[in-house]
Structure 1
Amino acid sequence: MAGNEPSTLTRRTFLQTTAFAAAGAASLATLAGCSQPASEGDASKEDAPVEVAEEVYFQSCMGNCSGWGCPCYVHVRDGKIANITRAKLKCPDGSDSPYQETCLKGYANIERMYSPTRVLYPMKRAGERGAGDWERISWDDAVSEITAKWKELQEQYGPEAVAFMSGSGSGMATISYTGRLQALMGAMTIAPCYDNTGMNVQMNHGGLGAYTIGHNEHRDMVNANNLFIWGTNPTESNIVDYHLVSQAKENGAKVICIDPIYTTSAAKADIYVPIRPATDGLLAAGMALISIRDGHEDVAHLQTMTVAPFLVKDSDGLYLRLSDLGQAEPLSEEDRVLVYEGGEAVAFDAASNPEIRGSFEVEGVAVKPAYQILLDRLNEWDLDTIAEMTDVPLETIEELAAIWNSGLSYIFTGFGPDHYANGQCGYDGMFALMDITGQEAKHGAGCSCTDFSAPNTPGLVNTATADLVGVAAPGRTIHAPHFHQLMEDGEFAGMTAPKAAYIYICNPITNEPDRQKWLKSFDAMEMVVVSDMFMSEAAQYADYVLPVAFLYERDDLSSTSNPFVKYTQKAVEPAGEAKGDFEIITALGKAMGFEDYFTQDLTTFLASCVTNDAAAAVGLSWEALQEQHAIWTYPEEPQVVGLTDIILSATGRFEFYHEGIQPMANVGQEWDMLKESCWFWEPPIEAWPETIGGFEAVDEAEKYPLLFISERCKFKTHTMFNNSPMILELDPEPYVKVNPKDAEAYGVTEGDVVRIENDRGYVVIKVVLNAGVRPGMLVIDHGWERDGYIDGHYSDLSTYETWPRFEQDNWFDCLVQMEKVQ
């Protein structure tokens, strides 16, 4: 197997010199420093190579960059990581794996590991929260004090008095062990809500595939004739994916970039389409209407692969089933959804040419096919209005539709639409366009969405809580948009506010919206514990900070999306007194009184994650991983939902209509099931500063006329890599991008300092003029922490206002004003 190849390079010691490459023809004796002393005046004396002992270990990046936990080798000299080199794993056919494009951030991990901001010892707050006053304490004291407080709070207020919160800061297996302690404690979950709209709309449409959660695995995009980069900027936020875009273009694909901002991805595209923010769904609707008008409706695909012919009752929006006609028991296996064919309703799987348009009456029940509902929604819009609303000329929309229907077309999207409260309008529109034209379930046609379309390897299983089923489980979940209301009011949706929190692999003070609310919620807690490698902004506001070992300082399994399951080797000892997550949780678990549940060692746990039937079926085992380090466990063919990977939606079909859809979390919000069941378009909650097409500008626009977004950039993964001198040399400080027209209107120029504010907060920051930014927009790179800004914080500007359907972080749904400071 191709995955065997890394074993020849790992964990070996060899002699290397600083001048090895230049020394080409030098003898081994010279390289080893065994040659005779150079004579006086010999120019080679000062340049004589020095013998360096080096060990090489197989490792992996942590991922969370919409990448794949890129494999690499780390080189150790004198007990220190001295170099990182790219791995060269092979696909089963012998070609290079496309999932190993180590980027500048991956190479910067050495600087992160040895950064002065590393937390080396358990720390206890000595002053006010956020003041930076700390005292070093021992591990024993930290564990004892933390668990004593947890016990006290749970005894007084119940298990959910302690909450756990995690993010996506690690793709390694050991981090999952934290879930074991949380389950045994019955602790509450605080759920961050980034990307929920983009992820859940995909799941609503195509379900969860066996091998890819999204629709098309990334490497399938090279088969497209037309590649639409829509709602993402892969040159910045998907660096390790972009080579697939380049390969598609080399293969002859036309690349179209749809974005409000002229990005590097736009510059590399054949066609750039600037669009009004938060109107992506309308553009998709316009392309769909033109496709239908011009005869590109794929009726056979709609009939057989989608819910288009399924009859929907006018009365309640639910599918008409045999049980509605008294011909089957409700919810039984025989209770088929009905379609209309030959003047009567028949079971969907008994029809050969069902109707997809029209309105019918079946035994007194008024019904219509789901596709008719979609058509009715689309036909509420005319093309001229769509052009006005999107700010995309009608001739351009016509051109886009013509390109879309000229061959195999593929959408490479991301979480740009997701960050407006109406993001589902964009995603639902894209999927409806694919359904109508049959541009899916084919190689080269469909959709990829960042890490949601990355490989999902069989055989690697999280066993952290496997033996706790029926024994213990975490408490209830409070999602971030309502967490602060819970903390402020003490009660919300039947839950009581937690008194303590354990926060790991996330940095909510910076990465979540409405930072001031997080500070107030932290203050409302009696104890906050943060485990982290670095003194992050969240850690700065904690009561205890526990030092976590860096990924090169522990054995682990990489569970980040990749066709390879990877065993990553401990290369050096942890810095200071840092410990791995497994060891930290084991210590806390035992101190909480769960000694009987924390008896296994790290090796036993890791081995258990790859000891199962699925692993055995693909040749994966702990023993094999120790020898080979990386094993391909994925199908050789790129996976496409509906083609190679089955559709796992409730109906087994692509669902542009969502029967009986319910909110992601029902917390008593107003809910319109019929509206949310199929594509529609409404403006975002706040980011609508102009009156256009009959949609009035929001009230906030009178005071705050500018739209603010935070753009992802290649120099960070959220707040990771803020402590790399190499990257800071390239990107030393935050700045706001301002269109020159806005700069003139506000009397600012390049290098001026401005104050950007709204009712939630402010940030003081330098101006950079950028004509690629849409007029009326201000753009700041995402990921800078408090110390990077002149004053204030960009996360103070964003809001937790959210759509009823999703618990969602809507960073872009934000209006501000700007004034020159100096």
Structure 2
Amino acid sequence: MTKHFDFNRLANLLTPSRRGFLKGAAATTATALVGGKAAPARAFAYEPYPRDDDLTTVVTSCAHNCGSRHMLVAHKKGDVIVRLSTDNGSYQGDAYGTDTEEKPQLRACLRGRSYRLRLYSPERLLYPMKRVGARGEAKFKRISWEQALTEISERMVHLRETYGPTALLDQSYAGASYGVLHKSDQIEGLLGRFMGMFGCRTNSWSVPSYQGTTSSSRWTFGTIQDGNEDDAFAHSKLIIMWGWNPAYTFHGGNTFYYMRLAKQRGCKFVLIDPQYTDSASAYDAWWIPIRPNTDAAMLAGMAYHIFATNRHDQAFIDRFVQGMDPGTMPEWAKGQESFREYIEGTSDGIAKTPEWASEICGVPAENIIKLAEMYADTKPAALKASWAPGRAAYGEQYNRMAAAVQAMTGNIGILGGCAEGVGKGWHAESIAYPYDANSNIWYASIKSDRWAHIVLNYPNVSREEAGLWPRSDNLDGVIPNIRGIFWQGSDWLNQLTNINKEIEAIRKLDSYGEGESLLVCMDSTITPTGIWADYLLPIATHFERHDVALPWYKGHYYIHRPKVIEPLGESKTDFQVFTELAYRLGFGPAYNPRASRDYFHDPDAVDEAYLVAWWEKVQSHQGVTWSWEEFKKRGVYKFVLPEPHVAFRDQIEKGVPFETPSGKIEIFSTTLAQVQDWTRTQWGYHIPAIPKWIEPWESLNHEKAKEYPFHMITPHPRWRTHSIFNNIPWLRETFSQETTMNTADAKRLGIVTGDTIELWNERGKVVTPVHVTERCMPGVVVLFEGSWMDLDENGVDRSGNPDFLTLDNPSPAGAFAYNTILVDVRKSELAHRPGWDQLATARSHVFRRDY
């Protein structure tokens, strides 16, 4: 039987009724007046209030890509979570308070600790909903699961049969559903398996956070498993935080802890960033302000000085590196340009000196020289090349240049060094559901943020514009005729580049007529993306389904996620929804081989069976001795590694080949050097075989800066995970969406802290408050990504979402240009609306009406 969430029961648990409160107050007053004696004080203002002894404690975790998946401990009364705490060191069987370098506590951050407000928020989706208003008007009515799944499956069949196998676009991502069983993911996810088996799927191949970095790591190292575990940072003597703010974004969860250990052991810290961050303040870092998108030029200047002063590690280069200099070029490429020849200007006549770099990046040449010497002379040193500078036009060149500097100094494969581009560390067993030949079938694969361009210009789109992945069949080069989108675990309409262009594409889909398009949003919460959908499907949160949490990118642990409470309203898991749709479309048993048709109503036994089989893999592959029942009882398994995991240690110490065509670190890329026809690659455009400085299409050095004189960067905020948690009142009270700008710029424009400003370019306009500070370099403005779009009647975004200003042009290797934005700024009388939670009734009122 479907269980419905009783909001009245929650209210009775957490808040007394007005009548009860007044009755109790009157009684207290009467008692106090008898004999003139004061009533005894009570510990709580309201009774009854659930105390710890009255609550059931359940270990679980967070589920989002905030940089980790830390432990959450749910304290519940009946079927209601009333409080969340976190790891105290005792859950693995250790003593209370255990927190060591080998086995640190997995403490949740402020986002995870606030999750109860998301779970029970006014924006919570409780029932299937169908659009009844105009597209984007946010008018929906409640319908049954039977109606929703019948209409969706019928529409899917119509679109596939009418418009072909590319008509449905998969826009799944790891935002709201990520575990070993319930997984939203572009490659390994449940939606991709479902759509591929259905025979209609256009895939999105590029990852917004780090695609330029991914491309770089694959070309250079042959893998994205290029990260040390973060305990290795504790052994560094120098850490260069290149565009990295681990106080806000960390991979593995205990990054800050290990870096604090490094600081206590004498490590020095450097920050290269247009803004002075909280991380720089915490570690007393030397701050080097740099013009956005010029990082590759500064790295080239460092490389020049390292070569010129003979500070490079030639023995390391000769043994492990391809293409660093003429002597390490492969025989088949003799005579082609090596990295050193480019840096010294042998081939193009331009020596990439620190002075040359200084003119481009705005960093004094003496500081470039000083940093180059610090890095080359300090062993071991970690140049942590963060993803953020790679989220830019030609961002892959920054990451490739950083890898070259890491390699030339021999800081790869050693404890305390760093090879990181992508930074994925210790390997986890990541999949519990069926992962087989059906798991990643696609009929077209495009660069993720080019879907709107394809819809608006179809069929007059070249394959390079689309970023179309090559195939070996008759669909190779065929531009997808996109007629529908599934958003699963993603708020991509709010998060991809050039939102106004996306909205225009959505309206074009709507113009095709009734039944000729399909937009489905699957989430636990009403999102800005959901507002534009045809159907909203309520998905159970990780508190309401059985799963296991993986660390995200780093961290060596697993956390059991039991079903803490029953799903609210009529929520279902993604796996339930896709299984039922698969049965309706004729391939249910193949999609979910452990389940019967009853899985839609009772998934618990099947989910348990998948997880038990997964745990047996963990026991076999990773030497875990605990039984499944012991793991469930404890809630967390923390691996104690014999030594810190260091990427490429075996390659450097044991001679194991790198996973590249040459078996070496490829600064000169075999893959890129051997491309014959760039239009027939997913990249579409020429990419040099060695890392080079390439001028981005917008920067402070560009002619366009005369019209738009500020370069905007869009870092990740501390109080959101992209757009997730934007509607949490506790977090909104602590932090606000505002633009940061330099004091001198503000003074020139007559702007002071607290003013409302508008920021605009030819793509859009947004409105925010402003914070004026010296912690941001002149000519740069900082606006955190992820605020929930809120358009006025003129199309101005009142929430301050910077992706109304970003450009969706394809950077060749797939990098998203989130930090390549020129804008102008002025003081404004336009309204800023700080968030849905601060409207009188939130947006939930549109989902509670009958239309």
How does the TM-score come out when normalised to structure 1? Answer: 0.81
Q: Is the 8 A contact 1:214 1:454 kept in 2?
A: yes
Letter in 2 for 1:137: I
Structure 2 stretches lacking a partner, 5+ long: 1-12, 15-33, 184-188, 464-477, 510-516, 595-605, 792-796, 830-851
Letter matched to residue 281 of structure 1: A
Separation in 2, partners of 1:668, 1:217: 31
**Of 710, 713, 716, the match for 1:712:** 716
Confirm whether residue 182 of structure 1 aligns to residue 150 of structure 2: no
| Match of residue 512 from structure 1 | 496
Distance 1:372 1:413 in 2: 23
Distance 1:617 1:739 in 2: 51
What is the aligned partner in structure 2 of residue 790 from structure 1?
Answer: 798
- Which moves more between the two structures, 576-585 or 639-648? 639-648
Partners of 1:166 and 1:192 within 8 A in 2: no
Q: What amino acid maps onto 1:817 in structure 2?
A: D
Once residues 169 and 496 of structure 2 are traced to their aligned partners in structure 1, the CA distance between those partners, rounded to angstroms, is: 17
AA paired with 2:482?
P
1:303-339 CA deviation, whole Å, 9 max, x = no partner?
Answer: 11212489799xxxx9435xxxxxxxxxxxxxxxx9x
For the 8 Å contact 2:548–2:560, the answer to whether it is kept is yes
Deviation at 1:546, TM superposition (A): 0.4
Amino acid aligned to 1:183: G
CA spacing shift, 1:670–1:595, aligned 2, 3 Å: closer
How has the CA–CA distance of structure 1 residues 137 and 505 changed in structure 2, closer, same or farther, with 3 Å as cutoff? same
- What is aligned with 1:487? 455
Q: What per-residue deviation string (whole Å, max 9, x for no partner) do you get for residues 737-794 of structure 1?
A: 1212212222322222222111111112222212211211121121111239537743
Evaluate the alpha carbon distance shift between residue 183 and residue 393 of structure 1 in structure 2; reply closer, same or farther with a 3 A threshold. Answer: same
2:215 maps to 1:200: yes
> What TM-score, normalized by structure 2, do the two folds share?
0.79
The correspondence of residues 685-700 of structure 1 with structure 2, limited to 5 A, is 685-686=697-698, 688-690=699-701, 697-698=702-703, 700=704
1:445 alignment partner, one of 408, 413, 417: 417
Matched, 1:530 2:521: yes
Q: CA deviation at 1:574?
A: 1.1
Does the CA contact (< 8 Å) of 1:740 and 1:769 recur in 2? yes
Matches within 5 A, 1:753-768: 753-768=756-771
State the shift of 1:427 in Å: 1.5
Q: What residue in structure 1 maps to residue 233 of structure 2? A: 221
Residues 9-59 of structure 1, C-alpha deviations (whole Å, 9 max, x = no match): xxxxxxxx99xxxxxxxxxxxxxxxxxxxx997976744997653212221
Is residue 739 from structure 1 mapped to residue 750 from structure 2 by the alignment? no
Structure 1 position 715, deviation (Å): 0.6
For 1:725 and 1:454, locate their aligned partners in 2 and report how far apart those are by CA, in whole Å: 34
Letter in 2 for 1:390: C
Q: Which moved more, 1:626-635 or 1:718-727?
A: 626-635
- The CA deviation string for residues 518-544 of structure 1, in whole angstroms up to 9 with x for no partner, is 112222331100001111000011000
Q: Over residues 72-127 of structure 1, what are the superposed CA-to-partner deviations in whole Å (9 max), with x where a residue is unaligned?
A: 32111132112222223669997553472311111011111111111111111010
Counting only pairs closer than 5 Å after superposition, residues 37-56 of structure 1 correspond to structure 2 as: 46-47=42-43, 52-56=53-57
Seen in structure 2, the aligned counterparts of structure 1 residues 59 and 422 have a Cα distance that, compared at 3 Å, is: same
Q: In the TM superposition, what whole-angstrom CA distance separates every residue of 1:397-444 from its partner, at most 9, and x where no partner exists?
A: 222122211331102232221122122232222111111111221101
Structure 1 pair 292–310 and aligned structure 2 pair: CA distance change class (3 A): closer
Matched residue SS, 2:298:
helix
1:649 aligns with 660
Task: Classify the secondary structure of the residue corresponding to 1:637.
Answer: coil
Name the structure 1 match of 2:118.
112
Structure 2 distance, partners of 1:166, 1:528, is 13
- Cα distance in 2 for residues equivalent to 1:794 and 1:292: 40
Q: Distance in 2 between matches of 1:91 and 1:719?
A: 36
Q: Summarize deviations over 1:589-629 as a string: whole Å, max 9, x none.
A: 11222232234232233334344487455237755543443
Query: Which residue of structure 2 lines up, in the alignment, with residue 344 of structure 1?
Result: none
Compared with structure 1, are the counterparts of its residues 198 and 310 closer, same or farther at alpha carbon in structure 2 (3 Å cutoff)?
same
Q: CA deviation at 1:656?
A: 1.2
Kindly state the Cα deviation for residue 796 of structure 1 after the two structures are TM-superposed.
1.2
User: Residues of 2 paired with 1:792 and 1:226: CA distance?
Assistant: 37
* Inter-CA distance 411–427: structure 2 relative to 1 (3 Å threshold): same
The correspondence of residues 471-620 of structure 1 with structure 2, limited to 5 A, is 473-491=441-459, 492=461, 493=463, 494-525=478-509, 526-561=517-552, 562-597=555-590, 598-600=592-594, 601-612=606-617, 615-619=620-624
2:828 corresponds in structure 1 to: 821
Q: Does 1:802 align with 2:816?
A: no
Shift of residue 257, structure 1, vs aligned partner: 0.8
- Where 1:591 maps in the other structure, the secondary structure is helix
Letter in 2 for 1:618: G
Other-structure match for 2:373: 402
Q: Which moved more, 1:90-99 or 1:213-222?
A: 90-99
Please say if residues 788 and 799 of structure 2, whose CA atoms lie closer than 8 Å, have aligned partners that are also in contact: no
- Give the CA deviation at 1:670: 6.3
Contact 2:323–2:338, Cα closer than 8 Å, also in 1: yes
Write the distance in 2 (CA, Å) between the matches of 1:265 and 1:72.
Answer: 25
Q: Any residues of structure 2 matched to 1:326-365 within 5 Å, and which?
A: none
- 1:682 partnered with 2:694: yes
Write the letter of the residue equivalent to 2:749. Answer: Y
One of 265, 271, 293 as aligned partner of 1:251: 265
Contact 2:275–2:775 (CA<8 Å) still a contact in 1?
yes
Give how far 1:190 is off: 3.3
Contact 1:510–1:783, Cα closer than 8 Å, also in 2: yes
Q: How does 1:137-148 map to 2 (within 5 A)?
A: 137-148=143-154
In structure 1, runs of 5+ residues without a counterpart are 1-16, 19-38, 322-337, 339-359, 361-365, 691-696
- Opposite residue 229 of structure 2, the aligned amino acid is E
* Distance apart, 1:224 and its partner CA: 0.5
Q: Tell me, yes or no, if structure 1 residue 58 matches structure 2 residue 59.
A: yes
CA-CA distance at 1:289 after TM superposition: 2.1
3-state SS in 1 of match to 2:748:
helix
Task: State the Cα distance separating 1:367 from its structure 2 match.
Answer: 6.6
Query: What is the alpha-carbon distance in structure 1 between the residues aligned to residue 622 and residue 213 of structure 2?
Result: 33
TM-aligned CA distance change 1:417 to 1:72, over 3 Å: same
**2:221·2:665 contact (CA, 8 Å) conserved in 1?**
yes
Equivalenced residue count is 720
Task: State the AA in 2 paired with 1:677.
Answer: A
Instruction: Identify the match of residue 640 of structure 1 among 633, 639, 646.
Output: 646
Query: Partners of 1:724 and 1:763 in 2: how far apart?
Result: 22
RMSD: 3.1
Distance 1:417 1:94, change over 3 A: closer
> In structure 2, do the counterparts of structure 1 residues 426 and 560 end up closer, same or farther at CA, with 3 Å as the change threshold?
same
Change (3 A) 1:199 1:636: farther
Offset, 1:667: 6.1
**Native 8 Å contact 1:504 1:530 kept in 2:** yes
Following the alignment from structure 1 to structure 2, what is the Cα–Cα distance between the partners of residues 57 and 724? Answer: 23
Q: Which range moved further: 383-392 or 304-313?
A: 304-313
1:73 equivalent to 2:73? Answer yes
2:162 to 133, 156, 162: 156
Q: In the alignment, what sits opposite 1:391?
A: 362
Say which SS state the counterpart of residue 146 (structure 1) adopts.
Answer: helix
Letter in 2 for 1:287: M
Classify the secondary structure of the residue corresponding to 1:166.
coil
Amino acid at match of 2:455: M
Distance of 1:482 and 1:50 partners within structure 2: 51
Q: Distance in 1 between matches of 2:165 and 2:684?
A: 30
